[in-house]
Structure 1
Amino acid sequence: MSVFLDFEASSLSKHSYPIEVAWVFEDGRARSFLIKRIPGWTDWSSEAEALHGISREQLARDGVDVSTIVSEMVETLADHDLSASAPSWDGKWLSALLRAAGNPSHELRLRKSDEAFLDLAKEVAGSSVSDKDIEDFVSDIIERTEPSSPPHRALPDALLELDRWKLVREEARDLQAKRP
């Protein structure tokens, strides 16, 4: 089953760490956590805080221990197709979270959501639609659904990817039905 995952982080520096994670399954089941900082995670950007609105105090108060989060993630997500809109960044924070809990950094792997959208569109539309048309089709959906002001929170960002996935599936059915 497809699952869309997103992180928010302390900054975009190489020393950043994850502060929020959320995932949503293609059937709509979702989970979200604020992440309690561990010793060694010290990087912080006030600019990033202004974007996501999550303070250090909120993390200290409401954050969940990394071991609890990772345990649920591995148990819940291990056998699913995990995608993220920015897998290089989200993968970095996923690896940091896994390592912080003592797990292998590549225990869970992400791919780019766009790839999941392309695979779904090809599957639904069938072989009568060219790869170029499928790529243009998916690009158009992504452009049309780009929010004017992104929420910069993990769950809304993951839900946006799910909404795109559903739209690709729905419109690919229509595309396939129009083909001779």
Structure 2
Amino acid sequence: MRVDLGDVAGAHPSLVVEDGRTGLGVAEIAVHDAMAPHQQFAEGVGFTKAQAKRRILELAKLLPATARKLVFIDLEASGLGSKSWPVEVGWTFENGETQSLLIRPHDSWTEEAWDAQAEALHGLSRARLEEEGIEARAVCMALNEAFDGARVYSDAPDWDGFWFYRLFQAAGVRQQFSLRDFYDVFKNMPADQLDAIVEKANERAPRAHRAIPDVLHMRALYDLAAAKN
């Protein structure tokens, strides 16, 4: 994705700043997510490479969320009760980077919240989570780092938000990202067009009540919708 600061400067006047020596507006500088063109940027405004990189990083923090990375997340859980807790979290970025983590049950999470029907759906036993899961604090730290500056979408933000709350509360870590409703992406799409996209996404990346297949399904929906625009 390429972002032209000139396109967003009108809505974000703080982006229209000038270098004291050259007087050139940096709103005219094209910023790439990969941060590759440091040399081109430096030559354009008279900065050194190091100064250019520092300025790009500063400006990137000011960019609107639409100009930053998108990530689709999903959680599987012990059940749907008020004391349920997360067992797996998975995510995929718009660029295709995908990962999932099994979560080791925290000492504060009760056995009574374990639902056999939920286990039958996702296929994750408590014994497997105890053996292969990652402790809650490490999962929270990984999520905060991975989602830094990202626009995070969930197709069930109420439930996923609750399970993130349970996770971060147990770990004693502050959650540094918020969730957006995935279906807001499609709110202006005609129903027949949305039905067709859902059908194609079901063929391309069917849901499976596991984190990775479900986030890949979300990304397929997003990609198909984007292709329509």
TM-score (norm 2): 0.63
* Match among 202, 207, 210 for residue 153 of structure 1: 210
- On the 8 A contact 2:207/2:217 being kept in 1, the answer is no
CA separation in 2, counterparts of 1:163 and 1:146?
A: 9
- On the 8 A contact 1:34/1:64 being kept in 2, the answer is yes
- On the 8 A contact 2:71/2:150 being kept in 1, the answer is yes
Q: Which has the higher contact order (CA 8 A, sep 6+)?
A: 1
* SS of residue matched to 1:94: helix
CA separation in 1, counterparts of 2:210 and 2:144?
A: 22
Q: Which residue of 1 aligns with 2:82?
A: 14
Q: Please state if 1:114 is matched with 2:171.
A: no
Q: Which residue of 2 aligns with 1:162?
A: 219
Q: Please state if 1:57 is matched with 2:127.
A: yes
- On the 8 A contact 1:83/1:116 being kept in 2, the answer is no
Please, which runs of 5 or more residues in structure 1 have no aligned partner? 119-130, 173-180
Q: Which residue of 1 aligns with 2:99?
A: 31
Q: Please state if 1:44 is matched with 2:44.
A: no
Structure showing greater radius of gyration is: 2
- On the 8 A contact 1:66/1:100 being kept in 2, the answer is yes
Q: Which residue of 1 aligns with 2:29?
A: none
Superposition deviation, residue 104 in structure 1: 2.9
CA separation in 2, counterparts of 1:144 and 1:170?
A: 12
Superposition deviation, residue 103 in structure 1: 2.0
Superposition deviation, residue 155 in structure 1: 1.0
CA separation in 2, counterparts of 1:146 and 1:13?
A: 28
Superposition deviation, residue 138 in structure 1: 3.6
Q: Which residue of 2 aligns with 1:98?
A: 168
Superposition deviation, residue 111 in structure 1: 1.2
Identity percentage of aligned residues:
35
Please, which runs of 5 or more residues in structure 2 have no aligned partner? 1-68
Q: Please state if 1:3 is matched with 2:41.
A: no
The RMSD of aligned alpha carbons is 1.8
* SS of residue matched to 1:145: helix
